[in-house]
Every structure is written in structure tokens, then in C-alpha cells.
Amino acid sequence: MLRSVRLQNLRSFVDTGSIELRHLNVFIGANNAGKTSFLSAIELVLQSAREGGASGPLAFEAIPNFASFDSVLRRHWSPTEQRPTEFTISFERDGYRGTRAFHEFKCRGRPKDNTTYVAEATYKHGESEFTLASQSPSPRRPQYQIRSGRKVFNESRIFFHQLIPIGPHLRIPGVEKFLRSADRFLNVEVVHPYRPVPRSFYVLDDPSLSLADRELLSFLLRVWASEETHVIAIRNRIVDNLRGLRLVNAFEVQQVSKRYGPKVIEIRVAPTIRRHRVTIADAGFGLSQVLPLAAYDARLSKGYFLAYQPEVHLHPFAQSRLADLFARSVARGNQVFVETHSPDLVLRLQQQVAKGDLPAKAVRVFCVENRGGKSNLKSVDFTSAGSPAIPWPAGFLDTSLTLARELASQRIARKK
């Protein structure tokens, strides 16, 4: 489990301090408050340990909301402050054999191409600690000094896959043991707000299909074609997720092309009556937009799930029932991170806690505010009755109540 995250001089965050995380973490706030930036930093942390990807400079371009060093570095500072020259991402997680592991990455920009690189990386695991300090920002000739206890090594063959170092230093005694549990981050699913547009038929060889579309369709086709027990369980979870949102009564994926030639896939659903089935393109836009969420959650157990604006194109009832989907995901051992603007989703979470279906200590809501170009987070926990332990900050989840009061006042004024 990812226990805490701290950001310094990243985007609109000056210093968040150590933000303690839970099994289900919900980020709410106004547009441009900093929710996406914080969640993107968590995504970078989790994605860094995934297999694959090219070694080399810190691959912020792999995260949609990050690009050049200047675009990530904090822009707002007072006249009395010095302009920051680096940003820091640090986090604590469950480490090897029940211990706690601490990581800290200080990142700077290369003068020539403005790409980001790790200037210094510090790792603490139990009693052991080591540091990688860059001696040269050149991507062609990286030079790092490794300090482990009293031992100092100079190594020129170290590269970073995003935040995780790779190279011969892994064979240094004490270092490889620390990184041994990195595979705990490999089981990560991310659902971004940009999702496939529904079609009556999908052709896998169609060049207009994006990589994300092709990955989702291939996954669904494999799930519906398999008769393995664990795959059938995933298939049932996908259907249950969609039924729980009251979007379908039946759902199936099939290959309708002949044996040879390009694969043509059809997704047929029954929105109400099981025998009345239509293609997903005829079943409403919201269903296609929530399908990646329902599918990727269903295949995840004991992993990490990140959802950016999961409520996009859903009506209020379906938005609220997303809370049930996340609660079931937590029950399977997943740690969930959600960025949302939906008060209905948060209210349903409170109801789940009050009913006892979701432990209060497993949920935390983060209210993100931006004042004067600087973002800050306020943590809100729930009591066992589902009530917030502290009052919601002004402007959070009280808009409907405020509008209702203003409407009542205007009606009274008109009568007078």
C-alpha cells in the first residue's frame, strides 16, 4: 500500500507536507485547483515500477499531464522568494517483509533540452539507506555517485525508468534487497477522462483506432472467448459493474468476422429487456464512457486503481453507484485513487460507511483549493455514521444546498 506522498515545488504545490493516504482516496475541488496534478504525481510513482518502457531520461511525457521540466516546476513565487530550481516527489509505502520503505526524488531540468532528470534519489528501507546523486545531467553520459552507509561507488551506467533506477548498481549488497519489492507496483490500472467513442462495429486493424481503444477491445474479446475459471470471474465482474450502475441488463462481446481477415468485433447490450439487444453505439454515450472503468477494475486484484473523472457523461444515479464499484474494488485488496466533481459519488460513499459496507478508516476525501496560484489539500475523514469528521470547506459539496436556499429566498421575496 502507498502510505503517504509529499510534493514540493511541483506545478501549483509549494509543499504539501506528508499527505497520509487510505485504501480509497477521493480528490474533489474546483477546476484548476490541482487535483489532476496531485493524482498525476501518484500515477508517476506507481507507473515507474511497471515493466517495459525505454530507459533514459525521466519519462514525464508518459504521463499525459506532464511534459517539459518548466511545465512541471512551480510557476508562482513571491518577490521575496528565490525561483525554485528543482521539484521533489517523496513517498512512503509498505516495503519488504512488512517494513516501511521511503523514496525521495529531487528532479531538475537539463539546460540543453529542458527534459527532466533525477538529480538525487534517496531510499530508506528498514535500517538500510542509500543515495544516488547525479554527477552529470547529460543523458548520453550519465554519472551517478552511490552512497550506501560508508561505502561510496561511482557508476556511469545507471539510467532511470521514470523514477526507478536500473543498472549494475542493483547488484550492490543491500541495494538489490531494497528494490526487491518494486514489483508490488506492477499491478496498476489507470482510466483517463478521454475514452473511446462508441461504434456499431470495431475493426482491430483500423488505423483510426487509438492504442487505448485497441487494448480495451482486445482485452474484452479475450475475456468473452475464454472459459477459464478466473477469466469467467472477471467477465462476471464486468457485467456486475455495469448492472450496478443500472446501464445494462445484459452485455456481450463477440467476433463477427470470418476466420480469416481482420477481426471485426461487436459489443451488444440490452439496456432494459434482455431479449432486446442493440449495439453499444445505440445504447447511449455514457455506457461507452464507463466501459473502460468497469473492465479494468474487474481485472484488478491487490493492485492500484486510478480513475480521472469517472463520472463523465453519467447521470446522477449512475454517478452515485460508482461508489459501490470502488467499495468492491477496495474489498478485493485494491488501493483506489479517484478525481471527481460529483457530490453524488461522495454522498453515496458516506451512505456506504453508514451502512457498514465500507469501513470509515478506509476512506479519505481530499479537498483541493487554489488560492493565489498556490494549491493546498485538506483531508476529511468520515465517522462510523458516515458524517464528515470536520465541516466541509466552503464551496465543497454545498452548491445544491446554497442554490436551494437562494431559490427559497427569491420565492419568498416575490410573494412579499
For 107, list phi and psi in degrees, rounded to 5. -115, 140
Q: What per-residue confidence (pLDDT) applies to 56?
A: 37
Task: Give the cell for residue 233.
Answer: 470471474
User: From first to last of its 416 residues, what are the pLDDT tens digits of the chain?
Assistant: 899 999 999 988 999 999 999 999 999 998 888 899 899 889 888 877 665 443 333 455 555 556 678 888 877 666 777 778 899 999 998 866 677 888 898 988 888 778 788 888 888 877 778 888 887 777 667 677 888 777 787 776 666 666 767 665 555 555 555 555 454 556 889 998 888 888 999 988 888 888 888 899 999 999 999 999 999 999 999 999 999 999 999 999 998 887 777 789 999 999 888 788 899 999 889 999 999 999 999 999 999 999 999 999 999 999 999 999 999 999 999 999 999 999 999 999 999 999 999 999 999 999 999 988 889 999 999 999 999 999 888 778 777 778 888 899 999 999 87
Are the CB atoms for 279 and 200 separated by under 8 Å?
yes
The C-alpha atoms of residue 214 and residue 222 are separated, in whole angstroms, by 12
Q: What per-residue confidence (pLDDT) applies to 216?
A: 92
pTM, rounded to two decimals: 0.89
Residues whose CB is less than 8 angstroms from the CB of residue 268 and which lie 6 or more positions away in sequence, other chains included: 251, 252, 254, 277, 278, 279, 280
330 sits in the region (left: phi over 0; alpha: psi -120 to 50; else beta) called alpha
The C-alpha atoms of residue 220 and residue 204 are separated, in whole angstroms, by 12
Q: Which amino acid is at 374?
A: K
Q: What per-residue confidence (pLDDT) applies to 52?
A: 47
Buried b / exposed e over 2-23, threshold 16 CB at 10 Å, is: bbbbbbbbbbbbbebeebebbb
DSSP letters of 219-277? HHHHHHH---HHHHHHHHHHHHHHHHTTS-SEEEEEE-S-SSSS-EEEEEEESSSTT--
Are the CB atoms for 43 and 60 separated by under 8 Å?
no
The C-alpha atoms of residue 116 and residue 86 are separated, in whole angstroms, by 10
End-to-end Cα spacing for the chain: 59
Q: What per-residue confidence (pLDDT) applies to 45?
A: 84
The C-alpha atoms of residue 58 and residue 344 are separated, in whole angstroms, by 38
Let me know if 261 is exposed, middle or buried by CB neighbors in 10 A (0-12, 13-18, 19+).
exposed
Cα angle: 120, vertex 126, 130; to 5 degrees = 25
Q: Which amino acid is at 79?
A: P
